[in-house]
Amino acid sequence: MRIAHVAPLYERVPPRLYGGTERVVSHLVEEQVRRGWDVTLFASGDSRTGASLVAPVPRALRLDVGAVDQLAPHVVELSQVFDRAGDFDLVHCHVDYLAFPFSRLVATPTVHTLHGRLDLPHTRAVLGHFDDVPLVSISDAQRRPVQDIALTWAGTVHHGLPLDAYPVGAGRGGYLAFLGRISPEKRPDLAIRAARRAGLPLRIAAKVDAVDRAYFEEEIEPLLADPLVEYLGEIGDAEKPAFLGEAAALLFPIDWPEPFGLVMIEALACGTPVIARRCGSVPEVISPGRTGFIADTVDDLTQAIRRLDRIDRAACRREAEVRFSVTRMADGYESVYERLEAGAELA
Amino acid sequence: MRIAHVAPLYERVPPRLYGGTERVVSHLVEEQVRRGWDVTLFASGDSRTGASLVAPVPRALRLDVGAVDQLAPHVVELSQVFDRAGDFDLVHCHVDYLAFPFSRLVATPTVHTLHGRLDLPHTRAVLGHFDDVPLVSISDAQRRPVQDIALTWAGTVHHGLPLDAYPVGAGRGGYLAFLGRISPEKRPDLAIRAARRAGLPLRIAAKVDAVDRAYFEEEIEPLLADPLVEYLGEIGDAEKPAFLGEAAALLFPIDWPEPFGLVMIEALACGTPVIARRCGSVPEVISPGRTGFIADTVDDLTQAIRRLDRIDRAACRREAEVRFSVTRMADGYESVYERLEAGAELA
């Protein structure tokens, strides 16, 4: 099986720090390499992979201060892929609608995993135009905003992790964890309020994008004065397992239709339960009372924190092993590829 | 000859107000329709054309407040064009590098007029990757920043105007004109300073983009207090000929590598000389002492204003008729198309 993966160029594969899509691409690519497939990865030149790397740019765009135009490198990347589409049995794209037109112009079967939200106005128009292009959703919930459009869904494949890289922690650090990005739709303010009310320390490991700088300074920084709250900045892969594994729970009080929420399964893999709000994929990922709690208000979140002793950390890890391993994700994509190739042969 | 034109979707074709690229596309399309060609125009749905219109969006994006993502409609547009490339003898794109990859994936000859500046860092990388894609420059000067890269230039075609729409004015309004966009690289401040020093009124007809709002408020608005300076806001096509034709001269003291500068030939067509700084295409368009002056400092610009009586307005109009008519532009593109089709037949 000769397969090309087309990754976004914003972060290297895998990312050094934050970066969900590029991390998932890395997990999938390395598992396919392990299975002996002939994998070509199109990604930034600082990526680390066992696949053949083709690099449209030497460095990931987010860390390259000279990269003013972020679209042009992606256009070059798509040309590099589709000029030689015949070299591959299948092309697997992770760059959103930008690659859709090429699906129709080459004979090689092409599939697109949608990593983003689908509830924005332009998304409906663009998906509607490409209703014959094979798509993979990363949760069933992700499809909901466009469920009235007849699209060509090739499947839902939940993200999966290489579980060896996420050792189970004891959860004895005596703190709650918030991990990811400081932005209004992630509701770090709710996490802080619930932790304070429960009287437990909260450790925040998160990046602040330029677009969220004002929100951070006006809404969140004043809340950091509380001695219960500690802001660590952005952390790397090496620190993440200990950060998650020693936490009593991950707080994930989001306020947007999260298409998957990779950090939830990272927490489960480390044996750490998740307390989340009922948005997007959350009910698909978390089983209330078994691997965490789903709560809405600060009151509910606080109640959930107080009931954490009812959760068995071993059950959280087991859930990750059964439902969210990289093996299971790669099997899921293998089924998708088989259906696409069968379809291409029929056509 | 079945030809497809691919216009940007930011403005309708032709634009209601500001908008160089969409205006030039309109001029070329209508002249080709007049010549009896089978022309299909891909453009926003509010466009006015004698060609067959295919509209990826109902309204131009700049005036559509709901249009948050401006890339997605262009991706749909490119798909609409290239899915049916076989319906055309030639595809003529005006949407910059976004359409480059498709040139290699379809059998129909495809040519790209570059309407923007080529001196930005990302431009070199993206052009270098597409060195076999046929390009048209809108001035020889436009190519200068990339002259060390071996690209496939199919020609330079200067813009042209339907001269009937630009009647010659008497130039008796007793004012100088500034027309276009308020932004640092257009140097409206220099225009104001030179007009004040020459003691002549300056009328400014220009839009202010959101990105230039702070520049306008901080640098330009304070200068508008002078009774010699009048700010008219953005004007439409109907007002333009009188605005230009009654002016003593157009001031065009730019500070960037202007790839063409449509307003210069609009002024010439109205019989109005142009006083411009030596940037980009200016020396290709203006003949000093005959159709205007090229000047650098406020002193030089002021001197030029004082020598305007040496310019024969009829000579300005003649220059537009000989070098900058839509007939001449359409002839220029016809030569380009013939060479491309001959090349495609040889290949």
pLDDT in tens, B267-303: 999 999 999 999 999 999 999 999 999 999 999 999 9
Are residues A279 and A255 in contact, defined by beta-carbon separation less than 8 angstroms? yes
Hey, which residues does B288 pair with through a beta bridge? B292
- pLDDT for A69 equals 85
Q: What is the ipTM of this complex?
A: 0.87
Are B102 and A106 within 8 A, CB to CB? Answer: no
Q: H or E segment at A31?
A: helix A20-34
How far apart are the CA of A259 and the nearest CA of chain B, in angstroms? 19
- pLDDT for B68 equals 74
* Count of pairs with CB atoms under 8 A, one residue in A, one in B: 82
- B126 closest CB neighbour out of A72, A120, A123: A72
Are B125 and A76 within 8 A, CB to CB? Answer: yes
Question: How far is B214 from B226, CA to CA, in rounded Å?
Answer: 20
Question: How far is B89 from B110, CA to CA, in rounded Å?
Answer: 9
- B122 closest CB neighbour out of A68, A122, A126: A68
Are residues B114 and B100 in contact, defined by beta-carbon separation less than 8 angstroms? no
| A148-199 per-position pLDDT tens digit | 999 999 999 999 999 999 999 999 999 999 999 999 999 999 999 999 999 9
Average pLDDT along chain B = 94
pTM for the complete prediction?
A: 0.90
- B76 closest CB neighbour out of A68, A73, A129: A129
pLDDT at B169 over 70: yes
Kindly identify which residue of chain A lies nearest to residue B96, measuring between CA atoms: A72
pLDDT classification of B67: cutoffs 50, 70, 90: low
- pLDDT for A240 equals 93
Distance of CA B171 to the CA centre of its chain: 23
Are B76 and A126 within 8 A, CB to CB? Answer: yes
pLDDT classification of B319: cutoffs 50, 70, 90: very high
Residue type, B92: H
pLDDT classification of A65: cutoffs 50, 70, 90: low
CA angle B307, B313, B314 (to 5 degrees): 145
- A75 closest CB neighbour out of B72, B79, B97: B97
Residues in A touching B97 (Cβ below 8 Å): 72, 75
pLDDT at B129 over 90: yes
Average pLDDT along chain A = 94
pLDDT at B210 over 70: yes
| A228-271 per-position pLDDT tens digit | 999 999 988 889 999 999 999 999 999 999 999 999 999 999 99
How far apart are the CA of B74 and the nearest CA of chain A, in angstroms? 10
Are B79 and A120 within 8 A, CB to CB? Answer: no
pLDDT at A347 over 70: no
Residues in B touching A123 (Cβ below 8 Å): 72
pLDDT more than 90, % of chain A: 89
| A300-345 per-position pLDDT tens digit | 999 999 999 999 999 999 999 999 999 999 999 999 999 998 876 6
| B232-245 per-position pLDDT tens digit | 999 888 899 999 99
pLDDT at B32 over 60: yes
Are residues B27 and B112 in contact, defined by beta-carbon separation less than 8 angstroms? no
